[in-house]
Amino acid sequence: MYRFRVSLSPAVIFTTVVLATWIDHAVAQEIALTPMQTTEVAKGYRGEALKLMPVVNDKGDMIGRIRDFIFGKDGSTFVVLSVGDFTGVGGQVVAIPFRSLKLDEPSGNIVLPGASRAALEKLPVFLSNR
């Protein structure tokens, strides 16, 4: 029985060291917003608010509405757009990079410069598997 206690002691010590290292690692990953970042977040747009705004081209022609947003693992953001849809429930669904859009605050529109419904309808249809 004495041999059992001696051989068990290194295992207990090893486990304690590993758990202590893991706990320190988990605590070190806390994230907090600084006051400046909080201000920038407050100036932003909620996704649901953007879904209510019409998407137009730079000529003011109605293109469609935002149906959803896709966030890539690499940090990229895409907009799922219903082309030719003015109610938010129909139309051909395509994905475009969010950075392509311009938020026009005075008009309350989202502008997709250089776009046309015909050109967007030629894009591959967006199919979500999630």
| pTM, entire model | 0.66
What is residue 72's predicted lDDT score, i.e. its pLDDT?
A: 93
More confident site: 103 or 14? 103
Q: Where are the alpha helices (H) located in the chain, listed in sequence order?
A: 2-27, 35-42, 47-52, 117-121
Task: Compute the distance between CA of residue 29 and CA of residue 49 in angstroms, rounded to an integer.
Answer: 32
What is residue 91's predicted lDDT score, i.e. its pLDDT?
A: 77
pLDDT, tens digit (0-9, with 9 covering 90-100), for 115-128: 988 898 888 888 87
Burial tier of 70 (Cβ tally within 10 Å: 0-12, 13-18, 19+):
middle
Task: Compute the distance between CA of residue 44 and CA of residue 3 in angstroms, rounded to an integer.
Answer: 66
pLDDT, tens digit (0-9, with 9 covering 90-100), for 84-104: 866 656 678 999 999 999 987
Domain annotation for the chain: domains and CATH numbers: 47-121 (2.30.30.240)
Task: Compute the distance between CA of residue 21 and CA of residue 15 in angstroms, rounded to an integer.
Answer: 10
pLDDT, tens digit (0-9, with 9 covering 90-100), for 37-95: 777 777 788 889 999 899 999 999 999 999 999 999 999 999 999 998 666 566 789 99
